[in-house]
Amino acid sequence: MTELERKQDRAPVPSEWTYASAPEARDIVTLQDRYGHYVGGEWLEARETYTTISPATEEPLAEVGQATPEEVQAAVDAARDAYANGWSDVSPSERAKYLFRIARILQERSREFAVLESLNGGKPIKESRDVDLPLSAAHFFYYAGWADKLEYAFPNRKPRPVGVAGQIIPWNFPLLMLAWKIAPALAAGNTVVLKPAETTPLSALLFCDVLRQAELPPGVVNIVTGDGRTGAEIVKSEGVDKVAFTGSTDVGKAIQRELAGTGKKLTLELGGKAANIIFDDAALDQAVEGIINGIYFNQGHVCCAGSRLLVQESIYEPVVEKLKRRLTTLRVGDPLDKNTDVGAINSKQQLDKIQELVASGAEEGAEIYQPPCRLPEQGYWFAPTVFTNVAQSYRIAQEEIFGPVLSILTFRTPDEAVEKANNTPYGLSAGVWTEKGSRILWMAERLRAGVVWANTYNRFDPSSPFGGYKESGFGREGGRHGLEPYLDLT
């Protein structure tokens, strides 16, 4: 017992804290054994299926469809039919009504969706509950507000919907990416065919139930599941007028090649390798929280993750020391436990990719630190990792790892920070930590990144446009800008 504790007559603080588990009840979610495709407001029996699992336990959850070219075509036909025979005549305020309904139902059913999202994707329940679900509902609310104000959003132009939107989304924020895609498309008066990622189809399939509850006319939103082949079929389908894709840069480039010369509209939201830059006048404890949030949020499966930490040389040691200490307090484990900070890696394939890149970092000469933590034996797991002694040329400083792995580099001057931050093929996001407003503005002007956060990180708001430069893609999602790709403005 310390002198202070004796004086205060308190028991000594235990040297090792352990948390009793606080599991979220799973029975709020009712899964079917088998799902088909949601086409024209009906469930279409899937001809081929595969098993979707929980990445935390490898437990099979359900059989879902692997859409064939004919099934994709049926979905596109349903969307085209709904567009031509009804939806394009629905008044804008009526469209808004459906979006408001969807938003409200998502709020009402948020616990169910949050549990399902964590179960199928591996992310901690506190993130699905406090981030994915509120933001998904907020997105529908936000775009509901625009549906009958398009003339005000684009004054002196004649906004008209483009037709059928083909939308392909990734596995890191399954429901939120669905909201980012569907909400602006419907607000602008389009119909939709959407494909969720192969590993995380279940929240999109539950969303079909929300569409029915909201009484959205049949065919306005169609959902087909499957792997990349299904995505490729959507992209090349002649009945699709606009493609919106979020995922890897390689697939984004392939889609762009496929669509070249077709006249179809395209937006691409691809990868990133963001710099999170800490100046020596920053509030260090807050910055350390921002670093943790920047890279360990959602296991680092975040396109805008702050995966390259640039620390001003004079504060390198205290920052690394504080960061390592903070890392030891992160709780890695069961995604459905409300105490969990870092959940499961989304798939075996992604775990292999992380392991391969981390091995390359150690081989190239970087120093690795992982806090002591016991990882579950079953499922896909990776301990929060920090690399120091990283050179800019190392793969871990250049390539998107998409996992809980941070590479630390240093700089001396603001110019050097900008040069290093921009030294990547990507340009999606960046973070700046300093107490000087003038420096924030100076940096923001020079950073080639679509989003620059100042003294915070990973903040999202439906009214704020999001998107990249260079190999991070083009087009913006969110805000008024997010309507533009879904409108013909001539």
Q: Which residues are catalytic?
A: 269, 303
Q: Which of residues 239-268 bind ligand NDP (CB under 6 A)?
A: 246-248, 251, 254-255
Q: Which residue is nearest to ligand NDP (CB)?
A: 231
Q: Smallest gap, in angstroms, from Cβ of residue 344 to ligand NDP?
A: 15
197: contact with ligand NDP by CB under 6 A: yes
Residue 306 neighbours by CB distance under 10 Å: 29
Letters for 266-295 (x = contact with ligand NDP by CB under 6 A, - = none) are ---xxx------------------------
Q: Which of 37, 129, 195, 264 binds ligand NDP (CB under 6 A)?
A: 195
Q: Smallest gap, in angstroms, from Cβ of residue 228 to ligand NDP?
A: 3
172: contact with ligand NDP by CB under 6 A: yes
**Identity of the residue, 251 or 292, whose beta carbon is nearer to ligand NDP in the bound complex:** 251
124: contact with ligand NDP by CB under 6 A: no
**Identity of the residue, 270 or 332, whose beta carbon is nearer to ligand NDP in the bound complex:** 270
Q: Smallest gap, in angstroms, from Cβ of residue 75 to ligand NDP?
A: 14
**Identity of the residue, 117 or 337, whose beta carbon is nearer to ligand NDP in the bound complex:** 117
Q: Which of 63, 112, 227, 416 binds ligand NDP (CB under 6 A)?
A: 227
Q: Which of 228, 414, 425, 465 binds ligand NDP (CB under 6 A)?
A: 228
Q: Smallest gap, in angstroms, from Cβ of residue 262 to ligand NDP?
A: 14
**Interface with ligand NDP by CB under 6 A: which residues?**
168-172, 195, 197-198, 227-228, 231-232, 235, 246-248, 251, 254-255, 269-271, 303, 350, 353, 400, 402
